[in-house]
Structures are given as C-alpha cells and as structure tokens.
Amino acid sequence: MKREPGSRRRFLQSAAGVSGAFALGQPAPAAPAPLPTVRFGNAEVSRLIIGSNPFYGYSHFNALLSSFMRDYMTQDRRIEILRRCEQAGLRTWQVHYMKQSMEDFKRYRAEGGRMNWFLLADFEMNTDLSLIGKVARELKPIGIAHHGGRTDDRFRAREMHKVREFCKAVRDSGVMVGVSTHNPAVVDSIEGEGWDIDYFMTCLYRVSRTSGDFREQYGEAPLGEIYMEKDPERMTRMVRQTRRPCLAFKLLGAGRRIDRPETVEAAFRFAFENIKPTDAVIVGMCPRFKDEIAENAAWTLKYGRKA
C-alpha cells in the first residue's frame, strides 16, 4: 500500500524525535527513542554509526561535491553534527585516521561528547605501525581496521601478508582488530585462512574494481567509480556467511541512492534485512539540505530492530 507523503513525514519526525528541518544552533530536540544496539567486545554500538567521509570532503561522486563538503564542513559544523547525532540516539562514530579528524575527536571529547568510536587506519598509519599502539592507548577506540582501499590493492597485488602484519600490530595494541574491504572475495579469503581478527567493514558496492577489469571484459571502461546494482546482494551474502560482526557501509551508494525518500528507505530496509543481527551500518551524513540524521535514525528504528 502506498504511503501518503504526510504519513511519511509524521513517521520521520516522531520516530527520530526531532523537527523536520536541520539548523545549527537550534535548541536541542526532545529525547528520541533509543536506537537498537549490538555488542562489540565490551562496547555497546548503535546499529546506525555516523561515518566521516562527508566531514572531510570525500564524496566518492565528483570534485564539485567534494569541494562543497570541504567548504561547508567547518570544525564547528562537524562538532555540531556529532552532537545532533547523539541527540538522535547514535552512540558510535567511525573516524578516519588523519590529523584533522584526530583534532576533531579530541575537541569532541573535551566538550563532553560521549559517542564511542571505531578508527579506520589511513595515510601514515598504514605504513607506520608504531602509531597504532599510540592512538589505541591515548584515544581508546573500540577497534582499528585496515583501510578498505588499501586492503583491496594489496589483495590484488597478492600482498595480504602486509595486511596481516597490520592486524597483528592492532592485536598487540589491545583493541579489536578489523579489516575493511569492498571486495567479497577478501572476506572469503580471510575466513578461509582463519585470520586472528574481530570484525569486518564491508562496503556494499565494490568500488575498487579497476577500469582495466572492465575494459578486459567489455572492451571499454566506465567513467569514475563503479557501482553495480547487484553488488549489495553479493556482499551481504558474504556478510551472512562470516560469524564475525560486520559494519556495512555505502548502503546509499555514496549518494547515488538518495533521489527519493522511498529509495533511501529501500536501501536501509535491504541492508538490515540482509546483514546479521550482530551487524551495524555506517552512513556518512551532510545535513545541509534536509535532516538526514533524523531520517536515517527513523529508518534504523523501523528496520534495525533485531528479531
């Protein structure tokens, strides 16, 4: 049965407990219904986790959108969005490792921010493994994961021993060990070899396919990153096969599935119906034109409750 537009708006507002318009500096909304959570080690993680790509201008779409994100997302706005996420019931933030994000995290904590967090290793942390123990001791993330793009590069180059060395350094640091990937074959390989890790970060779209892969198969290459409609089915099939918890990301195709409210809803419904009850989703948010925080929290409340 088709839902009337007014009904959809009422659901979004009541489920997330916030007004329909996002504006920085407005009074705090009423307390929302608690979002569903899952356990990661000793931590309670909300099944909706805010990602960091929009904060730092990684649109995965085009240079214009990336530039807009970098201009719009001042540090004050990033901190305010994190506060709004807390108010909407999110308990967890996924953070890329770099100087700016670490400064943001320290300010967020100093100003009373309570969300726990996962760290995605990037830049120098991929090569300077001594940084892992330092960050783990000082900032205490739930876990540290090897970056998905670097994982896929090393899988293609048959250099997964480097990823394994990284994972050992994380294990020695005392926090949970993760591997991020866009390729279901990576999950299958790690599972088959029995690696000592705790969780996966699993992209629902295999954006790390190379132009060469496509040119070999089709005689031509696509423009830009590659998003195939059946990719979410392929990755979630692998997510269900691993006993390890997974953090599923890019369920909205890096903005390619946001044109209509029903498309966003369908993406959340598919994700939660096809990952395990022990899994969560990571969604980047740039609430400049609508209250993405409220909407995403609403769909998590509707579809993310464990049976």
φ, ψ (nearest 5 deg) of residue 143: -155, 165
Residues contacting 173, CB < 8 A, separation 6+: 132, 133, 136, 137, 144
Per-residue pLDDT, 31: 53
Cross-strand partners of 104: none
Q: How far is CA 11 from CA 17, 19, 57, 73, 213, in A?
A: 10, 11, 31, 28, 44
Q: For tokens 């990719």, name the residue.
A: 231
Binning pLDDT at 50, 70 and 90, where does residue 7 land? very low
Q: What would the mean pLDDT of 6-17 be, rounded to a whole number?
A: 46
Q: What percent of the chain has pLDDT over 90?
A: 66
Residue range 107-162, pLDDT digits in tens? 999 999 999 999 999 888 988 999 999 999 999 999 999 999 999 999 999 999 99
Q: What would the mean pLDDT of 274-300 be, rounded to a whole number?
A: 94
Per-residue pLDDT, 18: 39
Query: Where do the H-state alpha helices sit in the chain?
Result: 5-16, 63-72, 75-87, 99-110, 130-139, 148-156, 160-173, 184-193, 211-218, 231-241, 261-274, 292-303
Per-residue pLDDT, 32: 62
Residue range 45-57, pLDDT digits in tens? 999 999 998 888 7
Per-residue pLDDT, 254: 74
Cα–Cα dist 94/96, whole Å: 7
Per-residue pLDDT, 19: 37
Q: Where are the domains of the chain?
A: 35-303
φ, ψ (nearest 5 deg) of residue 46: -70, 145
Cα–Cα dist 80/26, whole Å: 10
DSSP-derived letter for residue 34 is P
3-state secondary structure at position 293: helix
Per-residue pLDDT, 12: 46
User: Could you tell me the fold of the domain covering 35-303?
Assistant: TIM Barrel (3.20.20)
Per-residue pLDDT, 62: 81
DSSP-derived letter for residue 57 is T
Residue 273 CB neighbour total at 10 angstroms: 10
Per-residue pLDDT, 307: 54
